[in-house]
Chains A and B, each alone.
Chain A
Amino acid sequence: MSTITATSNISTPNTLSQAEAVPWLVWANVIASISIATGLYWDISWHETIGRDSFWTPAHLLIQFGAVLGAFGSAWVIMRTTFGGDTHALIKDDRRNSVNVLGFRAPLGAFIAAWGGGAMLTSAPFDNWWHEAYGLDVKIISPPHMLLALGIAGIMWGGAILAASYLNRADGEQRVKLQRIVMLLGGFIVIQTMTLKLEYTNRVLLHSSISYMVMGIGTLLLLEGLARVAGHRWARTIMTGIYSAFVLILMWVLPLFPAQPKLGPVYQDITHMVPLPFPLLLVVPAFFLDLLLPIFKDAPKWQQAVFGGVAFLAILIAVQWPFATFLMSSMARNRFFSTTDFPYFALPTSPTVRHVFVHWEQTPLEFWRNMGLGFLFSVISMWAGIYWGGWLKKVRR
């Protein structure tokens, strides 16, 4: 099954043959990531449109398919690498390029993806009990959902680290292909983290500093880390571009499907699937980082961190703040910007429906404290991303 070239020379650095295709487990994790991200988006729209769900909704099936594919694909590779014997050259080669986790052997990314699948599957009975004990979930951020999110991150990051380990051993065309896969997975990691942050990045909060503080947390850790390992000139732009394109396409396509609420109370006249909000303009600061960071490539890491962290959030605020004003205006009330579709449970008096901002922070002090924290988190994320990217570039197993 594996496509890694067998080698018998121990002293030779592990390299990936150009002739080989991308290992199937990498593809499996790519498919799992796309499936989960699409399922999550669809599920959220489902909860805003139809409301009632079951284990068997198509959105849930997509998420579950991703979890099973990621978990079982990785588990298979772990079992084969650990117990496959030495008779087969490919297995033998896999073992030579494996890490040891609790006595099992496989590439590191396979263990992370398997762990992610396990966490996702564990979250299912936990979440089910949570609903029975405390009622059907009314928010994204809850302990079982966080376990689910960690699991999804495991599958996506497992795929990215697996791809990175091959990328670091590849060259030529194979390297280009793996670069694209890392950036594709990076795009889906951006999608997942932004989904997790939806509660705090809704249109009505985009003139509160809490939104920008939340956007500052961790975004550069993943963008910078993956951009460094991908080694592509426009990696940050491409990854945030994938996020933007994914959200826009689903935002435009989903409303084409008719649907009606199956839960009350119903406060909106719903005739079709309700899309999620217009994507955040992450692509703009990402583009500027791609453009400007090479200037600082020889600067000390802390300087890169300060520049990158501050520039990213400052540019994001500079474009997102006025764009939020535009989204609230009558000019944005059309299918293109999709600001007129509301969840069935949105009260006519709610700020979203009235197209008005709410101010999370009650005092200017609170506002500037959150804003300051946002820049601090952004710089720390950038700093961590630089080291994270440095480590990812070293991963060979």
Chain B
Amino acid sequence: MALSTRFLFLVVLLLPLTGTAHVNSPDVYYDGYAGPYHLLVTLQPPAVVPGVAQVQIRSVTNDVSEIKILPLRMIGVGAKMAPLPDPAKRSANDPQLFTGSLWIMVRGSWKVQIQVTGQKGIAQLDVPLPAVSTSSQPMHAGLGILLSVLGLALAAGWIGIIVAATRDAALNAGERPAPAQTRRGRIGLALGTVIVITAFILGNQWWGSEASANDRLNYRLPNMKPSLAAGSLLRLHLENPNEAEPTRFRTEQPDRIRLDDLIPDHGHLMHLFIVRMPDMKAFWHLHPDQTQPGDFAVNLPIMPEGQYKLYADIVHHTGFPETQVATVNLPAVTGERLSGDDAGSFDMAPADKVAPLSDGYRMIWQRDDLFSKDLSSKDRPFKANQPYWFRFRIEDKDGKPVTDLEPYMGMAAHAVFLSTDGNTFAHVHPAGSVSMAAVNLAEGRSTKAGMESMEHTPSSAEISFPYGFPKPGDYRIFVQVKRAGKIETGEFVAKAE
């Protein structure tokens, strides 16, 4: 029976239209530090906004006594003024696990502020959370039947009341309706029935228009238009299907999705991933240049003919990340030699555990996990929607851990989690599944500050990524590191159930 008061004009002013990160992988996995406290955070955004986001925080150490959480907008006034925080509940079985929920009231770029109290004092961590409406929940049959029965009873009652009002209401005590009054009652019956039928028809139309208006607010995956020009030059024309409709009062919506507001994410406006389908043995991570707002271009490397899936990660000035997708059939491309941060190969060998790298080096997937206590056997498939820590070790040809890993675009490593049907895609870093540009914004750093603010030099031969598969199925994991000035990619197979 909640009755809200968002006056129409305020609704128009306050509800920006925005989008989502990755492709069909909306949950945020984050590995970060609130001061001295090492936390592993999972945020599950609501499917419908306004709705409730689920928050799960695991403290790596046992020195945390209390955690509070609150939602803030990523930028603007809403980033500075906070609602009252909610306590996260400590698990009875697992004292290092805290859970909570937060209302996300508008679509767009949010951050969850985590306030930690423990033996080492009070500290804070801000984790980005992009939120959009992605679906409308259908009505369960049981509820449908219940509401239908109640609706019919109300309709019958209404008609009965109209009949009684026209036939009986003006009678004296004990008096029976005269023929004239009975006739009026019949007119009342017809009138009441017409009113009920009209109300049902108009109500149904209204409901339908509200539902379709709601559908229009659901996030649509942007499909960019690729075209091959001048031999190996790939042009990408971005799409903006979630552009906000103009408001009645033509008010500027600061959070609206636009294509001229992109900010660099570890040094590049776009990270383009190209995967050959269906074998997934060819993979590239390229960085197209923006030719004009909404248009990008990149010189392709040498590529065999085939069908390719394209995933282009961009970040808006609000910290809101989007992935533009496309499927394209390419002829054999006599492309250019890869340079700079561009990397990839067309002769990958997907591995269960050990992926070969150049010069006899190897990347080894350590298939144990830190997040889940359920996964006791390394051979069991992963569970969908469960956070895991994917850990990889780089060894030289003698099996010794390497000592010469370098940052690759400011990060210790990059990973792509991709379902074999190509419909689920996530670009993940050791810090998690959020864009680093959003992390900078969340922590109050300038997104134009460059990469030095977030330089993560690999501290050992081991790298890890927090992530959870969003649904059961077969996946590939592409892991990229930089060693001795060279970017290496290992490919692994994984299954989630």
Contact = CB atoms under 8 A, between A and B. Distances in A.
Interface centre among B8, B11, B173, B174 (most CB of A within 10 A): B173
Nearest to B213: A134
Interface of A: 7, 10, 12-14, 40, 43-45, 47-48, 51-53, 60, 63-64, 93, 96-102, 108, 111-112, 114-115, 118-120, 122-127, 129, 131-140, 142-143, 145-146, 148, 165, 198-200, 202, 204-205, 260-269, 276, 343-352, 358, 360, 394-397
A392 to B, nearest CB: 9
Contacts of B103: 51-52, 136, 263-264
Contacts of A114: 157
Given A135-B51, A264-B82, A352 B2 contact: no
A111 B1 contact: no
B249 A108 contact: no
A134 B211 contact: yes
B210 A51 contact: no
Contact of A202 (B7, B48, B211): B7
Contacts of A260: 83-84
Contact of B8 (A129, A199, A394): A199
B440 to A, nearest CB: 20
User: Chain B: interface secondary structure?
Assistant: mixed
A269 B78 CA distance: 11
Nearest to A136: B50
Nearest to B46: A135
Given A125-B147, A134-B210, A266 B1 contact: no
A143 B163 CA distance: 26
Contacts of A133: 48, 136-139, 214
Contacts of B138: 133
7 pairs of A and B residues whose beta carbons are closest in the complex: A265-B78, A14-B173, A99-B168, A99-B164, A101-B160, A136-B50, A266-B81
Interface in B101-151: 103, 105-106, 110, 133, 136-139, 143, 146-147, 150-151
B378 to A, nearest CB: 39
Contact of A101 (B10, B157, B248): B157
Contact of A44 (B5, B160, B169): B5
Interface centre among B73, B78, B168, B211 (most CB of A within 10 A): B168
B3 A44 contact: yes
A100 B5 CA distance: 40
Given A14-B173, A136-B103, A267 B48 contact: no
Contacts of B203: 143, 146
Interface in B151-184: 151, 153-154, 156-158, 160-161, 163-165, 167-175
B154 A60 contact: no
A118 B13 contact: no
Given A43-B3, A136-B50, A198-B5, A101 B164 contact: yes
A394 B171 CA distance: 9
Interface centre among B1, B103, B154, B165 (most CB of A within 10 A): B1
Contacts of A97: 173
Contact of B173 (A13, A63, A202, A347): A13
B106 A118 contact: no
B14 A345 contact: yes
Contacts of B173: 7, 10, 12-14, 93, 96-97, 396
Contacts of A100: 164, 167-168
B105 A358 contact: no
Contact of A347 (B13, B153, B165): B13
A186 to B, nearest CB: 19
